[in-house]
A and B are shown apart, each in its own frame.
Chain A
Amino acid sequence: MSTKTIKVDVLARVEGEGRLFLRVKDGRVAAARLEIFESPRFFEAFLRGRRFTEAPDITARICGICPVAYQMSSVQAMEAALGVEVDEPLRQLRRLLFLGEWLESHGLHIFFLHAPDFLGYQDGLALARDYPEQVKLGLRLKKAGNSLVALLGGREIHPVNVRVGGFYRTPRRSELAALEDELAWAREASVAAVRFVAGFDFPDFEEDYDFVSLRHPHEYPILQGQLASSGGLTAPVADFDKHFQEVHLPHSHALHCRKTDGGLYFVGPLARYSLNYDRLAPLAREAAQAAGLGPVCRNPFRSIVVRAVEMVQAADEALAIIRDYRRPERPAVPVTPGPGEGHGITEAPRGILYHRYRLDQAGLITEAHIVPPTSQNQGSIEADLAGFAQGHLELPEADLTWRLEQMIRNYDPCISCATHFLKLTVERE
């Protein structure tokens, strides 16, 4: 019997604290576990007894990278509970705010967290020494996203301008017009980013994932749509709990998600792209084609290319919204407190983010349920680690470990969100 252990105590370039455990016994991967030991955060409990109006500001605190997604899932759930529909111009502004978050989040992940894996650097700083122009481009793209979030959200992190029914204040046309040139630059720069990352070497690894994302009649999904999957699911957002469930596993502080039949599923850029290729803007689709991506991408290492394609989409759409912008007549539609249950799903940069709330007569929250993307992807991450390791056990230990860390970063996991993550241990027996 042969036994071997590979150990990486701290996995960097992911958000939060966790550890990977991989045991190899007699040449077979016997166990692959993502052990999340970051403390549980109890946000769902904090929310009980609070007013429905407080959910967007409280849930925005769950994540410093994707607070807009938390705000948007929460306000849409509340609006569903209270029978409120926001005006189209306000919905467009919400989309614009969300596009800013995509640019920020993808810009950070592509250039600082993930690209070093492909080019053989320990971190973004080391990458910057040899690729200064690309890193500057990434920083500026991120900043373009920050500018949108700061203007529409009131500040760059944990925005404060979103409320159930709309916004507290809508921007003047001149304020948005001031961002037009930078977003026009960002659109071109994103196309250059796609070219840059498409030139990386990608391990030959594909899985038959069951992709799950939103799907909208004519938009690339962000705010709205129905649940869709590559397995053929089409369901309203309110039916999330009928199709997916959370299970607690002893090795993780984060709940794992499964389909109700027990199967794994996959959320995030690869899923969004593969289920909504036909909804991409022409420029984003052209960039994808030029990068060698087909309509479906099942190689998780190529997620870095898909994220760059999504930046093209985001900048292109943001520019269009700004150019068509007329200041809405009112910053928010009226909302009357009352009892109800509402569901909201939006496409956070890392995948679908589900919120469900129950409200009492006074509009106080009696129950809150939040399912972040990283919880939903944990099963797929573990399956990928096991699958990749099994096919590459011949690799020298350092190379295998490098690839496994890279595999985790394919998912841009947000452990802080999910604890609601990273040390890496590989044990060979």
Chain B
Amino acid sequence: MTDAARAAPPGRALVVGVGQPLRGDDGVGPLVAGLVRQARLAGVEVRETRGDLLSLASVWRDYALVIIVDAADTGGPPGTLTRLEAHAGVLPAQVRPSCSSHGVGLAEAVELARTLGTLPPRLIIFAVAGQDFSLGAPVSPEVAAGAQRAVAAVLEELAAAGWEEQSPPID
């Protein structure tokens, strides 16, 4: 797509890293979010969450595009990136189970919002396959490499929709 062909961003975008940085590869979501934040894109808000998506689901309709990055236990090679268009249809079964009991997990929040008609116009999920979710472990090298691919994919997604200009520096 040429620059001229790219439309001005239609409102605000939200990037959310989901995960617990103290649980090994589960920290990939916040890791990606932090790196996307460094790009300082105008009109793009970046958040991290440990997993209570219900609060997020109550605000995401305010954004034209929402991108969520989360670790996934897909059983595939660690670091593998999967892109899902959650606004387009029910999430595949392997991303449905929630590790949360009292909090509401990503898949439940997405399906609840779909049922209530409160999904944002575009909701993209990048799932990064993890392998080691042990307490206190760092993100594994394979998943760290996957995080870099996820950052590039998120930035490309944003750019394709018109969010690519940097915010002016803060004095």
Whether A113 touches B55, Cβ cut-off 8 Å, given contacts A135-B116, A157-B50, is no
Interface string of A118-133 (1 = CB under 8 A from B): 0000011100110010
Q: Which of B28-36, B78-86, B98-106, B145-153 contacts A (4 or more CB under 8 A)?
A: B98-106
Q: Is the CB of B101 within 8 A of A139?
A: no
Q: Is the CB of B102 within 8 A of A65?
A: yes
The reply on B58 being an interface residue by CB < 8 A is: yes
Q: Is B115's CB under 8 angstroms from A140's CB?
A: no
Pair B112/A128 contact, Cβ less than 8 Å: yes
Given A124-B112, A125-B112, A132-B115: A157 and B102 within 8 A (CB)?
A: no
B115 touches A128 (CB 8 A): yes
A17 at the interface (CB under 8 A from B): yes
Q: Which of B101, B103, B108 contacts A125 (CB 8 A)?
A: B108
Residue ID in chain B nearest A143 by CB atoms: B58
Q: Is the CB of B102 within 8 A of A113?
A: yes
Q: Does B161 contact A (CB under 8 A)?
A: no
A419 vs chain B, min Cβ distance (A): 13
Contacting residues of chain B (31-50) with chain A, CB-CB under 8 angstroms: 50
Question: Does more than half of chain A's interface fall in helix, strand or loop, or is it mixed?
Answer: helix
Verify if A414 is at the interface (C-beta below 8 Å from B).
Answer: yes
Contacts of A16 in B (CB 8 A): 101-102
The yes or no answer to B52 lying at the interface (CB within 8 A) is: yes
Contact A13 B50 (CB under 8 A): no
Q: Please, which residues of chain B bring their CB within 8 A of the CB of A157?
A: 50, 52, 55
Do A64 and B101 touch across chains, with their CB atoms under 8 A apart?
Answer: no
Contact B103 A64 (CB under 8 A): yes
Interface membership of A101, Cβ < 8 A: no
A114 within 8 Å of B by Cβ?
no
Centre residue among B103, B115, B118 by max chain A CB count within 10 A: B115
A142 touches B101 (CB 8 A): no
- How many B residues have CB within 8 A of the partner chain? 18
For chain A, the count of residues having a C-beta within 8 Å of the partner chain is: 28
Q: What is the chain B residue whose CB lies nearest that of A112?
A: B104
Complex formed: what's the CA distance from A414 to B103 in Å?
12
Is residue B159 contacting chain A, with contact meaning CB distance below 8 A? no
Are the C-beta atoms of A125 and B102 separated by less than 8 Å?
Answer: no
Residue A304 is within 8 A (CB to CB) of chain B in the complex: no
B151 to chain A, nearest CB (A): 24
In the complex, are the beta carbons of B52 and A142 less than 8 A apart?
Answer: no
Interface residue A146 (Cβ < 8 Å from any Cβ of B)? yes
B54 at the interface (CB under 8 A from A): yes
Please determine whether A14 and B102 come into contact, CB atoms closer than 8 angstroms. Answer: yes
Q: Which residues of B are found within 8 Å of A140, using beta-carbon distances?
A: 58
Judge if A210 is at the interface, Cβ distance under 8 Å: no
A108→B101 contact, CB < 8 A: no
CB of A192, distance to nearest CB on chain B (Å) = 17
Query: Quick check: B54 and A108 within 8 Å, CB to CB?
Result: yes
CB pairs A–B below 8 angstroms (25 shown):
A12-B101, A13-B102, A15-B102, A17-B101, A64-B50, A64-B52, A64-B103, A108-B102, A123-B108, A124-B104, A124-B108, A125-B111, A125-B112, A128-B115, A128-B116, A136-B116, A136-B118, A140-B58, A142-B55, A142-B58, A143-B55, A143-B59, A146-B58, A157-B55, A416-B102
In the complex, given contacts A15-B102, A123-B108, A132-B117, what are 9 additional A-B residue pairs having Cβ atoms less than 8 angstroms apart? A12-B101, A16-B101, A125-B111, A128-B112, A128-B116, A142-B54, A146-B58, A157-B50, A416-B102
